[in-house]
Amino acid sequence: MTKTHRNAPRRISPALLPLAIGLALPPPTLAQDTDARDEDPASLDAITVTAQRRVEDAKDVPISITTVAEEKLDVLGSGGEDIRFLSGRLPSLLIESSFGRAFPRFYIRGLGNTDFDLNASQPVSLVYDEVVQENPILKGFPVFDLERIELLRGPQGTLFGRNTPAGLIKFESRKPEQETSGYAQLSLGRFESVNFEGAIGGALSPSVSARIAGLAQRRDDWVDNAYSGEDDALEGYREYASRLQLRYEGDGGLDALFNLHARSLDGTARLFRANILEPGSNRLVGGFDRSRIAIDGDNRQTLDGIGGSVRLGWDLGRVTLHSVTGYESVDTLSRGDIDGGFGAVFAPPSGPGLIPFTAESADGLPDHSQFTQELRIESNDWGALDWQAGLFHFDESLTIDSFNYDSLAPGRPQNGYARQEQDNRAWAAFGSLDYEASDALTLRGGLRYTSDRKDFVAERFESPLSFLGIGPIGPIAAETDDSDVSWDLSATWALDDDTNVFARVARGFRAPSIQGRLLFGDIVSVADSETVLSYEAGVKSDLFDRRARASFTLFRYTVDDQQLTAVGGATNFNTLINAERSIGQGFELDLEAYVTDDLLVTFGASYNDTEIDDPGLAVAPCGGGCTVLDPTVTVGGVALALIDGNRLPNAPQWIANLTARYGRPVGETGEFFVYTDWAYRSEVSFFLYESAEFVGDPLVEGGLRIGYNWDFGRYEIALFGRNILDETEAVGGIDFNNLTGFVNEPRIVGVEFSLRF
């Protein structure tokens, strides 16, 4: 989304490029645009989206959509955070991780998956450059040189084909163009943080253009390890990503886009901190210091990924034929001290607090490949009726290694090893119709048939509990094979040129999932397919001669056989289960307005009321001394917590966000500006059961950016701050050993210089 401002120079895009030595060369001269200084009142440009696989005005699309403007992306990413910086910045969106930068978990309208297994299936899909990123590790690819981000809420299973019952996030990279353009950005911040990002692109010939973009981020270790006595031992990282695109636009209506991208990460895994929660409450213990930890285990994380895609479009006159071929592969290993402390009660000294037993483990993805192919044909201006139809194929193979280590033995040797392997093949056929019933009324409908098969095998070669006589097990095989039909129907009514109302009903589907972490368990669990039926209605309007816009949506959904993961607990084992039903309802609100010609304000808010509806469903509660608030039932001598009536985990009732940008012209070509952003989410429960301790308090995080740009926005220098109030809250927990938790990102302040041409 772009903005027009009477006094605003042309704004600098985010960031910089590792490969951009060429950026040091003199860029082409920018012509001074006299229109940027005219006397017309400030107004908002139309927002174009591709939520329905066509370029449309967002106001005309009958879906609850939020887009992210370029400057907002620039501001939110200035602290060097990973994709989680979007959490709470868009209504109904939460993103969290127990793997740090490598493995984000997404929740839309309260629907998500807390499973930390590298084979976890999520109900929120991420589509990057038209290619679905199915494995959770793929979803963490860095955000840079983007044309737009779209958040599509509610089931999106008709036109997007992998696990979208909750919705999807759609990233679109900036494409190559014939005109030379690029940007560069360098920021320096707290903890010796360095963020370097940028791109350069242009014509190679009259029909071929290219664009190369990259990102380099680093942060020094800044957390002391009190156990080892090492200062600045943890929480640093080095991350690099790059993208090369070639585009051919030739005769005969062919448009071909080739994309090659890669990522490399070397850093610290998530820091788990033993007994940071006060027993009987969710308050952090007195004297908690986020810059210190005391662990006796190893902590590190590596990741290397590569992928590519070929997107072809043939304009055949009455129709356009599209082909999207994608390949992704990733290799990762993450090792951490899971108990969050040192020693154990039976091997003193130990602490902080009670450490019943040691837990140091690692999970790796040594072998992974994903291949996707889509063929789609769409009509070109068929009058009142437009349509599209296609076929989709998905093929993924992966191997997961799980290791355990003896933290108390010299050298911390490996004492446990298990492996999972899975092949997942799916195909789908889909179609969609748009019909303009009148000048005011547009009807839409879509249908998708999906068939999904998984073949899975798991085996434990060495048990960490061999001293109890527990040995190898398996191989244990499982398979699923299911098919289903997703659909959606919607109507949009134009009240006038500026205001549309819409209503939509949609059915979504998620294929069965398999879980087989045999390192500490002896069974493979399978969750049946889940389906969701969603209703929503809303209004989208441009106001006050496009000085403002508003979007408001009411929704209600019911998930049948929802796939849930009972994580950890007293049994220290992940198990997939199906809840008979879950219910969610609420609203989303997006506002954007020029309060004055110099002050642009955005506001977003959402309310999500979720509930598990299954009177007999019970899970293992914590094994680390927490205060369980649910009623319990004993099954086979084990006390289980009944979770009927509980809200879904990581599903805050309230999310709100606010940005404000004030700019004043300086001289003929410059501008001084102040930009602030704030995000709020209400409390969340970390697990399916409810306890006094494993609840995240309401969290408020703010950002501030003060800067000056000149030469019509070609150059910019700014001071920035992220989490400027230095809020410290627990954002997740480990419940099988003690009251272990992990906290949000620290305050980052720094300075940034950027160039655009």
SS (H, E, C) 28-58: CCCCCCHHHHCCCCCEECCCEECCCCCCEEH
The distance in angstroms from the start CA to the end CA of the chain is 19
- What are the tens digits of pLDDT across the range 662-689? 999 999 999 999 999 999 999 999 999 9
CA distance to 482, 521, 625, per residue, from 572 (Å)? 30, 8, 14
pLDDT tens-digit profile of 152-202?
Answer: 999 998 998 788 999 999 999 999 999 999 999 999 999 999 999 999 999
In the DSSP assignment, the letter for residue 407 is T
pLDDT in tens, 563-572: 999 987 766 7
pLDDT for residue 370: 98
Percent of the chain with pLDDT over 90: 85
pLDDT at 529: 96
Where does the pLDDT of residue 733 fall: very low under 50, low under 70, confident under 90, or very high at 90 and above?
Answer: very high
pLDDT for the residue 506: 97
Instruction: Report d(CA 123, CA 162) in Å as an integer.
Output: 9
- What does the block give as tokens for 419? 């492996």
For residue 570, give the H/E element and its range.
none
Question: Residue 265 forms beta bridges with which residues?
Answer: 239, 303
pLDDT of residue 52: 85
CATH entry 2.40.170.20 includes domain 3-756: yes
Task: Record the tokens describing residue 397, joined without a space.
Answer: 């193979």
The residues, ordered by sequence, that sit 6+ positions from 437 with a Cβ below 8 Å of its Cβ are 384, 443
Residue 32 has pLDDT above 70, yes or no: no
The predicted pLDDT at position 570 comes to: 67
If we measure between CA atoms, which residue out of 108, 265, 276 comes closest to residue 731?
276
Query: Model confidence over 507-525: pLDDT tens digits?
Result: 999 999 999 989 988 999 9
pLDDT digits (tens, 9 = 90+) for 209-267: 999 999 999 999 999 999 999 999 999 999 999 999 999 998 888 999 999 999 999 99
- Model confidence at 70, pLDDT cuts 50, 70, 90, reads confident
- Percent of the chain with pLDDT strictly greater than 70: 95
pLDDT for 637 equals 85
Q: State yes or no: pLDDT of 37 exceeds 60.
A: no
Average pLDDT over residues 292-310: 97
Nearest of 172, 646, 573, 190 to residue 402 by alpha carbon = 573
Alpha helices in 451-586 (DSSP H): none
pLDDT at position 39: 58
Q: What is the pTM of this model?
A: 0.93
74: pLDDT confidence band, cut at 50, 70 and 90? confident
39 against 642, higher pLDDT:
642
For residue 491 the two structure tokens come to 């109507």
Mean pLDDT over each residue of the chain, to the nearest integer:
92
pLDDT digits (tens, 9 = 90+) for 365-389: 999 999 999 999 999 989 999 999 9
Q: 246: closest CA among 219, 212, 222, 280? A: 212
For residues 163-185, one letter each, b for 16 or more C-beta atoms within 10 angstroms of the residue's C-beta and e for the rest, the string is bbbbbbbbbbbbbbebeebbbbb
- Taking the C-alpha atoms of residue 110 and residue 552, their distance in angstroms, rounded to an integer, is 18
Spatial distance between the Cα atoms of 509 and 165, rounded to a whole number of angstroms: 6
In this predicted model, what pLDDT tens digit does every residue of 682-727 receive, in sequence order? Answer: 999 999 999 999 999 999 999 999 999 999 999 999 999 999 999 9
d(CA 752, CA 19): 19
Please tell me whether the peptide bond between 649 and the residue prior to it is cis, using omega within 30 degrees of 0.
no
Q: Look at the alpha carbons of 514, 82, 92, 489 in this order and tell me if their dihedral is positive or negative.
A: negative
Digit-coded pLDDT (tens) for 577-632: 999 999 999 999 999 999 999 999 999 999 999 999 999 999 999 988 899 999 99
Average of per-residue pLDDT across 391-420: 96
- pLDDT of 100: 85
Q: What are phi and psi of 719, to 5 degrees?
A: -100, 140
Q: How many residues does the chain have?
A: 757
Q: Which residue has the tokens 């899970």?
A: 619
Return the pLDDT at 16.
32
Among residues 41, 53, 66, which one has the least CA distance to residue 659? 66
pLDDT at 33: 39
Rg of the chain on CA atoms, in Å: 26
What are the residue boundaries of the structural domains of the chain, listed by start?
Answer: 3-756
Can you tell me the distance from the alpha carbon of 651 to that of 609, in angstroms, rounded to the nearest whole number?
8
Q: Residue 130 pLDDT more than 80?
A: yes
Q: Under a CB-based contact definition with an 8 Å cutoff, are residues 73 and 143 in contact? A: yes
